[in-house]
Amino acid sequence: MKSDQNSTIIMPPYSSTSTNSDWASSSSSSRGSQPKAALHLSSSSKTNELLQLVAQELETMKQPPKQQSTKPAAAEQSFPPACLRLMSSLPGNLTCVDCHSRTDISWASVSFGCLMCLQCSGKHRSLGVQTSFVKSVSMDGWKVHEVLSMLEGGNEQLDQFFERHEMGKSVTDSGDANNRINPTSPTASGTILDRYKTKAASFYRQHLINH
């Protein structure tokens, strides 16, 4: 894979113009009450209602847990339903970020704010939690900052970031599970997973956490 040392880091466009539905600008607010990714949804009444529900869910998650008997309440909760609807509407989130499968896209890399299939989630786990922290959207508990990372991210946004750094991908006609990087690219020395171990990917991951 092409070394990204001394290369210019190009950060993701948090105001993507390509979506799964019609998007338009909405009034801005703090990250804790309304994720930036949500600000590009259409201004329909249904969308406004969804954003209000998302804000309420996030605020509820931020509240300190109530003490129940002598056992501390769990710090994690199920992925909130309105947040789940918003996350599913983000561009590219209906298919796996790595293999583009549409089957069982219920796994997430919190580190990169992207969704994937069960098979690719196993590959991400092999990278280690310091590189790609994998969770099940439906079965695992979630913390508020993890939900926010998923709402700030999105599969298409991550795809575009890698494309700009010449680490794009092409799925072979035979459906090769290795999903080797486009052979015409200068980075064709490794597999899709290798791009997650680059300095550019590390910068993206850190920016998503701090954003």
**pLDDT tens string 71-101:** 444 478 999 999 999 999 999 999 999 999 9
93 versus 65: which is more confidently predicted? 93
Q: What residue has token string 């992925």?
A: 79
Residue 152 has pLDDT above 60, yes or no: yes
Q: Which two tokens stand for residue 182?
A: 């486009």
Q: CA of 148: how far to CAs of 53, 60, 64, 122, 188, in Å?
A: 14, 13, 17, 23, 33
Rounded mean pLDDT of the chain?
A: 77
Task: Say what the pLDDT of residue 92 is.
Answer: 96
User: Quick one: 98 exposed, middle or buried, by C-beta within 10 A (0-12, 13-18, 19+)?
Assistant: buried
- pTM above threshold 0.75: no
Task: Say what the pLDDT of residue 198 is.
Answer: 95
Q: How confident is the model at residue 187 (pLDDT cuts 50, 70, 90)?
A: very low
DSSP the chain: ----TTPPP----SS-S--SS---------TTTS-GGGGGS---HHHHHHHHHHHHHHHHHHSPPPPBTTBPPPS-BPPPHHHHHHHHHSTTTTS-TTT---S---EEETTTTEEE-HHHHHHHHTT-TTT--EEETTTS-B-HHHHHHHHH--HHHHHHHHHHTT--B---TT--TT-BB-TTSTTTTSBGGGGGGSHHHHHHHHHHHH-
Mean pLDDT highest for which of 12-21, 72-81, 153-162, 173-182?
153-162
Q: How confident is the model at residue 184 (pLDDT cuts 50, 70, 90)?
A: very low
Within 8 A by CB and 6+ apart from 118, the residues are 104, 106, 107
When pLDDT is averaged across residues 119-137 and rounded to a whole number, the result is: 97
Task: Say what the pLDDT of residue 156 is.
Answer: 96
Report d(CA 166, CA 22) in Å as an integer: 29
Q: How confident is the model at residue 69 (pLDDT cuts 50, 70, 90)?
A: very low
Q: What residue has token string 């701090």?
A: 210
When pLDDT is averaged across residues 155-177 and rounded to a whole number, the result is: 73
